[in-house]
Amino acid sequence: MPDSSPAPAAWLTGWMRAEKIALWGAADLRGFATPPDETGAGFPRALAFAIPMDPHIMAGIRNGPTLKYADEYARVNGRINEVSLALAAEIKARGFRARPLAASSRTDPVAIMGDFPHKTAATRAGLGWIGRHCQLITRPFGSWVRLGTVFTDLEPATGPPVERGFCGECTRCVEACPARALKGPAWYPGIPREELLDVHACDRWKKEHYFQFHKGHNCGICSAVCPYGLRQLKKR
């Protein structure tokens, strides 16, 4: 039976602290089509979390991806999958439904997308907003993060969702994109992806120029030049 105590998710803070997850939250996804559980039912909520990338590696790819970046990308994705699987198992052990979303899994190669946008869960959980580079920007780490999502019917406090961006007039990512794939509008919830990004131009450039890095799945230039990320170097 599910935990029926007044605060059934009170254990989450301790669990996340033990896993060294510094940035996480819960998202209300009612009204969104989520991947289903084994019975075909969707989920009303998700737990979203962010794991930061090494800032020195990120700062080093302003002219293009490197082997160190490709390795860091794989390492953090692996950690996200470990945490997601463990968190889903813990939720199920407490009597609730859960389904982890794999990190960086492209299940639709034509539309170039996965089963659900990690960024949607993250913005709905209040972790950050979407920049002009079509990536999540967080206050603590900028966009130098990778995201994890676990769908659930657990009932922690959710949000508040982020409803606007905070990039101001900055267009550094748009100017730095070698594929000219970024279109420049400011993000708002519900904006079609194609108004922010020509995903096919981005994908084509990466495969033509950076195929040696995870078969063209890596670039990161737009994220590397983001001022919110570069602030980390000043902090250190």
Structural domain boundaries of the chain? 11-235
Q: What is the pLDDT of residue 131?
A: 98
Predicted TM-score (pTM) of this structure? 0.94
126-168 tens-digit pLDDT = 999 999 999 999 999 999 999 999 999 999 999 999 999 999 9
Distances (CA, A) of 105 to 30, 148, 183: 23, 11, 24
Percent of the chain with pLDDT over 90: 88
Extract the tokens encoding 232.
């980390």
Cα separation, 107 vs 46, in Å, equals: 20
**Residue 7 clears pLDDT 70, i.e. is over it:** no
